[in-house]
């Protein structure tokens, strides 16, 4: 009941922890030993060594000590890693370069064996041993504004070829009726053999190239050659005897001998007349379009000079001439 009699609101009793009997007893027991202890005496050192308690041995199985690696690598390791990375990148670049070279060689080989614009004129069968010599595609090469004129020039060349063939047949009929007209028949064969390919190469192809690449030089070549062609058409239309053409004069002179042969020759004379009229009309058409392209004689001269300078044959000839002249001058000295 004493616990209930105490006043909870009274001041607590001061408790000195150092007044505990166990503490005080231990302190008085060790006091004498501390006073007599001299750490620098010989007996104290021997006593301390004898009283040294060995370290406790681990009871479990022994474990090897594990050293933790250093977090920061050494400069040598960094340099070795950088060198290895550079060598790997160099090997990768060399491999890619070799791959690119291989692909480039494959493309070159394929380009050498494949021509995207293969020659398609004249249109010959695949079984024919003679292959096409030219490439011609109006929709791909010629601008839309010039396609009509260029096609009309092509049709004029075809009409010209048909006319020369009919002239050959008319001269053959004339020679059959009158044996003294063998010269006309022989010349008609020559005109057909020469003028048919020459007209294609000398005035039609220059016009095609002029419209395709807007070349002033090709335009001037066309004008010069086509003007000469018009003069030849006029001569053929006139039909001078012994010239190998069955024009108006030759056809009218045959009306008194054989009417059927004369009619054939008159038809050919009409064809020559149509060629002359169409050629004059197309010359005017090409000239009007030439003026709209901005071509000029100065540009034609520049294109001609560049073509001469870049021509491999001309370069080789010039180099050979210069070498010969230098050797002659050296020998003369």
Tell me, what's the pLDDT at 46?
47
Q: What whole-number distance in Å separates Cα of residue 253 and Cα of residue 244?
A: 14
SS3 of the chain: the string is CHHHHCCCCCCCCCCCHHHCHHHHHHHHHHHHHHHHCCCCCHHHHHHHHHCCCCCCCCCCCCCCCCCCCCCCCCHHHHHHHHHHHHHHHHHHHHHHHHHHHHHHHHHHHHHHHCCCCCCCECCCCCCCCCCCCECCCHHHHCCCCCHHHHHHHHHHHHHHHHHHHHHHHHHHHHHHHCHHHHHHHHHHHHHHHHHHHHHHHHHHHHHHHHHHHCCHHHHHHHHHHHHHHHHHHHHHHHCCCCCCCCCHHHHHHCCCCCHHHHHHHHHHHHHHHHHHHHHHHHHHHHHHHHHHCCCCHHHHHHHHHHHHHHCHHHHHHHHHHHHHHHHHHHHHC
Q: What whole-number distance in Å separates Cα of residue 167 and Cα of residue 159?
A: 12
Q: What whole-number distance in Å separates Cα of residue 188 and Cα of residue 259?
A: 21
Q: What whole-number distance in Å separates Cα of residue 143 and Cα of residue 165?
A: 32
> What value does the mean pLDDT take over residues 294-313?
60
Of 94-103, 135-144, 167-176, 224-233, minimum mean pLDDT range: 94-103
> What value does the mean pLDDT take over residues 67-84?
70
Q: What whole-number distance in Å separates Cα of residue 207 and Cα of residue 219?
A: 6
Unique residue bearing structure tokens 């060399």? 94
Q: Which structure tokens are listed for 306?
A: 């560049």
pLDDT digits (tens, 9 = 90+) for 109-168: 665 554 557 888 888 888 888 888 899 999 988 998 899 999 999 999 999 999 999 999
Question: Treating both helix axes as pointing N-terminal to C-terminal, what angle do 259-292 and 147-177 enclose, rounded to 10 degrees?
Answer: 160
Global pTM reads: 0.60
Tell me, what's the pLDDT at 1?
46
The residue with greater pLDDT, 264 or 33, is 264
Q: Which structure tokens are listed for 235?
A: 């001569």
pLDDT digits (tens, 9 = 90+) for 251-302: 999 988 899 999 999 999 999 999 999 999 999 999 988 888 766 556 666 6
Query: Buried b / exposed e across 113-151, counting CB within 10 Å, b at 16+?
Result: eeeeeeeeeeeeeeeeeeeeeeebebeebbeeebeebbe
Contacting residues for 231 by C-beta, under 8 A, at least 6 apart: none
Tell me, what's the pLDDT at 275?
97
Of residues 226, 255, 231, 225, the one with CA closest to residue 246: 255
Does 30 have pLDDT greater than 60?
no
């Amino acid at each position: 009941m004493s616990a209930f009699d105490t006043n909870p609101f009274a001041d607590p009793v001061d408790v000195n922890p150092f007044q505990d009997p166990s503490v005080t007893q231990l302190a008085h027991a060790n006091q004498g030993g501390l006073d007599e202890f001299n750490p620098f005496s010989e007996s104290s050192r021997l006593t301390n060594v004898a009283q040294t308690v060995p370290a406790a041995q681990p009871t479990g199985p022994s474990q090897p000590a594990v050293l933790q690696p250093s977090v920061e690598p050494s400069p040598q390791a960094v340099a070795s890693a950088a060198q290895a990375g550079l060598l790997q990148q160099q090997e990768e670049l060399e491999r890619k370069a070799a791959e690119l070279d291989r692909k480039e060689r494959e493309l070159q080989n394929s380009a050498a064996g494949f021509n995207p614009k293969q020659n398609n004129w004249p249109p010959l069968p695949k079984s024919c041993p003679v292959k096409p010599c030219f490439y011609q595609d109006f929709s791909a090469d010629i601008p839309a504004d010039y396609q009509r004129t260029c096609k009309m020039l092509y049709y004029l060349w075809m009409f010209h070829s048909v006319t020369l063939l009919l002239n050959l047949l008319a001269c053959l009929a004339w020679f059959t009726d009158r044996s003294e007209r063998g010269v006309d028949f022989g010349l008609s064969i020559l005109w057909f053999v020469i003028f048919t390919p020459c007209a294609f190469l000398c005035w039609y192809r220059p016009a095609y190239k002029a419209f395709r690449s807007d070349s002033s030089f090709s335009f001037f070549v066309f004008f010069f050659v086509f003007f000469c062609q018009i003069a030849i058409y006029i001569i053929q239309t006139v039909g001078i005897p012994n010239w190998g053409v069955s024009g108006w004069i030759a056809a009218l002179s045959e009306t008194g001998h054989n009417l059927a042969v004369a009619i054939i020759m008159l038809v050919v004379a009409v064809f020559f007349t149509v060629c002359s009229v169409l050629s004059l009309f197309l010359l005017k058409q090409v000239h009007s379009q030439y003026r709209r392209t901005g071509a000029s004689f100065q540009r034609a001269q520049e294109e001609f000079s560049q073509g001469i300078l870049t021509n491999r044959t001309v370069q080789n000839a010039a180099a050979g001439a210069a070498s010969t002249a230098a050797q002659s001058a050296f020998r003369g000295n």
